[in-house]
Amino acid sequence: MSLSRREILLCTGVLILLGAGWGMTQPLTKIAVSTGYKHFGLIFWQLFIGAALMAVICAIRGTKLPRGRAQISICLMVALVGTMIPNTTSYQAAVHLPAGILSILLSMVPMWAFPIALMMGLDQFSWRRFLGLALGLCGVLLIAAPGASAMDLAVFWVLIGLISGICYGFEGNLVAKFGTAGMDPFQVLYGASLMGAVIMLPVALASTQWIPAAELLTREGQALVLASVIHVVVYAGYVWMVGRAGSVFAVQVSYLVTGFGVIWAKLILNESYSSGIWAALLLMFAGMYLVQPRAKAALAPA
Nearest-5° angle of CA 206, CA 97, CA 213?
A: 35
Query: Cα(74)–Cα(294) distance, rounded to whole angstroms?
Result: 28
pLDDT of 243 reads 75
pLDDT of 248 reads 67
Query: Cα(153)–Cα(140) distance, rounded to whole angstroms?
Result: 13
Question: Are the C-beta atoms of residues 277 and 151 closer than 8 Å to each other?
Answer: yes
Q: Any idea which of 11-20, 106-115, 170-179, 243-252 has the lowest mean pLDDT?
A: 243-252
Query: Cα(252)–Cα(288) distance, rounded to whole angstroms?
Result: 9
Q: Any idea which of 10-14, 16-20, 145-149, 178-182 has the lowest mean pLDDT?
A: 145-149
Query: pLDDT tens-digit profile of 118-174?
Result: 999 988 899 999 999 999 999 988 887 765 565 667 788 989 999 999 999 999 899
List C-alpha distances in Å: 59 to 33, 36, 226, 234: 33, 36, 22, 18
Question: Are the C-beta atoms of residues 181 and 66 closer than 8 Å to each other?
Answer: yes
pLDDT of 10 reads 87
> What letter represents residue 249's amino acid?
F
Give the torsion sign (CA, 248, 254, 233, 62): positive
Question: Are the C-beta atoms of residues 153 and 93 closer than 8 Å to each other?
Answer: no
pLDDT of 247 reads 66
List C-alpha distances in Å: 198 to 81, 120, 202, 224: 16, 30, 8, 19
Task: For the chain, give the mean pLDDT.
Answer: 88
From the list 284, 1, 298, 294, the residue with the least C-alpha distance to 141 is: 284
pLDDT of 299 reads 34
DSSP state of 153: -
